[in-house]
Amino acid sequence: MVVGPLVSEVCFTFVLAAVLLHRYGNFSQHPLLVTVSVFVAWYFSFTIIFILPLDVSTTAYRQCLYDQLPLPSADDWPPSDDNGTQAGNNTTTTTTTTQAPLHAVCVRPWSFVPEGVLQSLWRVVYWTSQALTWLILPLMQSYSTAGEFTTVGKLRRALIENAIYYGTYLLIFGVLLVYLALQPGMNLDAAKLKVVCVSASNTWGLFLLVLLLGYGLVEVPRGLWQRAQRGHALRHTYFRAAKLSLERAEAQERLDDLLQEIQHVSGSLSSGHHPLRRHLDVILAKLPEGTKVGSHS
């Protein structure tokens, strides 16, 4: 089967993403939409890693075939007269050269994929990843942390937070787009605007990659080296223990203040028929188990 390696890697990647999501996630406690979005994001990320070698080997094979094609010589073209018309009475002599068979020079790899398959696959992976990265996942993250009690309120809060965050990038992109549009000889159409958007997205991704990778290449080996030294690791642990103890005390004080505020609001909404009482019940249900309002000092 020609697409056997591709199908095998796609199935293997599917199983790998499902196993990792089952290992590090909890299907029973997450909504179906969240599970599907995270699975697709992980699945397509692994797909890029495993499918890229197939694309490289297939492209190298096609490039070898193209390089081995004979180029037409000057003797292969019919002679023409002074007016540019073909002379019908002249004869044409062609020279033939003995060439090795293409299959002997260019060996087709076992991972060969027919033309057009990978192109369609990359389109699906690329644009789905773009939608997940810039729209779906940021909105879901802001939606999950929103403090509103209704779906419309949570969605409005998520849109506002992402509009503020991405507004800066859209402003910079708009300024650059206006600059390109004012250049002489530059005609921006839909195709060129698509190229500009893709280039801007790739540039931002490469910038983050270089920034984070540059930090990781230094920090990871240094951290491993420092953890191997017991004296340094012990002093660092003492420092972190003191810092975590201070942060815990501050968090406990904030929790006590919030519990006192909830107790005050609960007293104000003691009537079960108050329109805001159901919202207070939602807050009370989210308190940790064993926590009683007003029991902390």
Range 207-230 average pLDDT: 85
- What is the per-residue pLDDT across 189-206, written as a single tens digit (0 to 9) for each? 777 777 877 887 788 788
More confident residue, 121 or 94: 121
Q: Check the CA dihedral 5-11-15-18 and report its sign.
A: positive
Q: Are 266 and 284 in contact (CB under 8 A)?
A: yes
**Beta strand ranges found along the chain (DSSP E):** none
Q: Which residues pair with 116 in a beta bridge?
A: none
Give the 3-state secondary structure of residue 86.
strand
Q: Which phi and psi angles does 54 have, rounded to 5°?
A: -65, -40
Select the highest-mean-pLDDT range: 7-16, 59-68, 101-110, 266-275.
7-16
**The model's pTM:** 0.65
